[in-house]
Amino acid sequence: MYSLRRESDGRGDSGGMSMALWLEGDDVKHEHNARPRVGVAMRVGVVYARTYQEQDWWQTTMITEILEESENYVKFRTGNSVYEWWTPE
């Protein structure tokens, strides 16, 4: 289980998916079970659709800076927000 929350308003998601996404040329590349790192966008939530009343995942813009990091926690900055990502110990 992974969790992602935007610091300013608490918005985000939790679920079994933590995916890093980045561009290589015109191709979107991805890595499953990923930790946040500079140069990728993070998508956290569920792989399969929930319902029409709930979002399936939350995605950030590209990470520009890692602010704090430990074994199961990363605080990072994107172009316009600060996020916390964590997984249970």
Would you state the pLDDT for residue 26?
94
Minimum mean pLDDT range among 8-12, 36-40, 41-45, 85-89: 85-89
Section 72-89 average pLDDT: 95
Distance between start and end Cα atoms, the chain: 10
C-alpha of 71 from chain center: 16
- pLDDT value at 81 more than 80: yes
Q: 30 is in which domain, residue-wise?
A: 2-86
Number of independent structural domains in the chain: 1
Dihedral sign of CA atoms 84, 88, 68, 34 in order = negative
* pTM of the shown model: 0.89
Question: For 23-66, what is each residue's pLDDT tens digit?
Answer: 999 999 999 999 999 999 999 998 776 555 567 889 999 999 99
Q: CB under 8 Å to 59, separation ≥6 — which residues?
A: 21, 41, 42, 43
Judge contact between 44 and 27, C-beta under 8 A. Answer: no
